[in-house]
Chain A
Amino acid sequence: MKRTTVTYGLAASALAIAAAWAALAAALIPLFAAETVIVIAFPVLVLFLALRWRAPGGEEDIPFIGY
């Protein structure tokens, strides 16, 4: 995955979580709505944060598929 794509994904998930948190704090949305946003955005945040942090390089390979 391209680094720019990862950056956009990371930013989008972080913004979604921040927006849900702010909207909940301002009583604009109910708790379950904020939780739903976080349940969707948190996995993306975790993976994209790590994908941005990962070491570069690596060719696609074929795993051991038996003798």
Chain B
Amino acid sequence: MIEYLVFAAAFGLLLLGLHRKVIARVQLRPGPPVWQEILHALKFSFKSTWVPKTASATLYVGVVLIGIGIWSAALFVVLAGESILILFAIYMLHKVVEHGFGLSSGSPYGKFGGVRSVISAASEIPLFVTIAAIYLFTGSLLLRDIIAYQEVHGPLLLIVPPVAIAMYLVILSKMPYGPFSIVESKELVSGYKTEHFGVWRAGIAVIDGTKTFVLLYAFVLIFIGAVPFSLALAIMTLVLVSLSFVCAITPMLSPFDSVTIQGLITGLMLVYVGYLWWVMP
């Protein structure tokens, strides 16, 4: 099982490296090598490391452990075909982790990153709408039931494309360098990650890699269904490249604009799910 975790973290980091590469090429820059994020994780692992004097040591270290733990649990939930409600609860916990990262260090940059992670909770609301719409069709929130439904009726991507778009936007809001990446924007240095350096930053790299893998794999399973694993990896890569294109050509929004747009998306999705609920027998 640990091999799944190592593979997910490494492949996720590779995808994040590809993300940076695609953004750079779209912007006519050479960009870093695709494996740059893996090299970063290794590099940070042998840097000098300590806890800043201003930090709350327990929280400062604890959030790194919790972050790796929750995304490890999320991977097992997806692999076991368990409830997507658990998966999205873990997604919400990640918000608490981001907030903890920001507040634990004593740095104002980190604190602003943490505060922004709270206000960007608007990006999670489309998740609930996604869950509601999926339940209307499949009658279950278990991933294995959703997959079984798609084997009979075809991919949910074709049945309820607006719901797939909503989850796509949720994943987009978690991608670095994207229009909704206000928690780590450049005016905050690295946002909530600013004061986590050395080994702690290597831990963040493992969190980011696993998170990227889990979200993209869950997207494939929920909206396309059971496909051979190699094909799932190829589809995940395609989805990521499309996200990279969006990130490359879209400026980062101001925090208020980001929340407003995510709120509007949620409103549209609520109307759509309300319509589905009204017309469905």
Given the contacts A47-B199, A63-B106, A66-B108, A54 and B69 also touching, CB distance less than 8 Å: no
The reply to whether B50 and A58 form a contact with Cβ atoms under 8 Å apart is yes
Given the contacts A43-B65, A43-B68, A53-B46, A62 and B76 also touching, CB distance less than 8 Å: no
Q: Fill in one digit per residue for A26-63: 1 if any B CB lies within 8 Å of its CB, else 0.
A: 00000100110011101110110111011111111111
The reply to whether A65 and B107 form a contact with Cβ atoms under 8 Å apart is yes
Using C-beta atoms within 8 Å of the partner chain, give the interface range for chain B.
35 or more
Residues of B within 8 A of A54 (CB): 45-49, 198-199
Residues of A within 8 A of B85 (CB): none
Residues of A within 8 A of B258 (CB): none
Q: With the chains together, A58 CA to B68 CA distance in Å?
A: 25
Closest to B68 in A: A43
Whether B244 is near chain A, meaning CB under 8 Å from some CB there, is no
Given the contacts A42-B2, A46-B68, A46-B203, A51 and B52 also touching, CB distance less than 8 Å: no
Q: With the chains together, A59 CA to B27 CA distance in Å?
A: 40
Whether B72 is near chain A, meaning CB under 8 Å from some CB there, is yes
Partner of A38, one of B1, B48, B194: B1
Whether B147 is near chain A, meaning CB under 8 Å from some CB there, is no
Partner of B76, one of A39, A56, A61: A39
Residues of A within 8 A of B73 (CB): 35, 39
| A interface residues, how many (CB within 8 angstroms) | 31
Interface of chain B, helix or strand or loop or mixed?
Answer: helix
The reply to whether A62 and B199 form a contact with Cβ atoms under 8 Å apart is no
The reply to whether B52 and A61 form a contact with Cβ atoms under 8 Å apart is yes
Q: Residue among B1, B47, B76, B200 with the most chain A CB within 10 A?
A: B1
Given the contacts A38-B5, A42-B69, A60 and B53 also touching, CB distance less than 8 Å: yes
Whether B125 is near chain A, meaning CB under 8 Å from some CB there, is no
Given the contacts A58-B50, A60-B50, A65-B107, A47 and B2 also touching, CB distance less than 8 Å: no
Q: With the chains together, A58 CA to B51 CA distance in Å?
A: 10
Residues of B within 8 A of A64 (CB): 107-109
Q: With the chains together, A40 CA to B72 CA distance in Å?
A: 9
Given the contacts A39-B76, A42-B68, A63 and B105 also touching, CB distance less than 8 Å: yes
Residues of B within 8 A of A66 (CB): 108
Residues of A within 8 A of B122 (CB): none
Query: Interface of A with B (CB < 8 Å)?
Result: 17, 21, 24, 31, 34-35, 38-40, 42-44, 46-47, 49-51, 53-66
The list of the 6 closest CB pairs from A to B, nearest first, reads: A43-B68, A58-B48, A50-B45, A50-B199, A43-B65, A63-B107
23 contacts between A and B (CB under 8 A): A24-B1, A35-B76, A35-B80, A42-B72, A43-B69, A43-B72, A44-B65, A47-B64, A50-B45, A50-B203, A53-B45, A54-B46, A54-B47, A54-B198, A54-B199, A55-B46, A55-B48, A56-B48, A61-B50, A61-B52, A62-B53, A62-B54, A65-B106
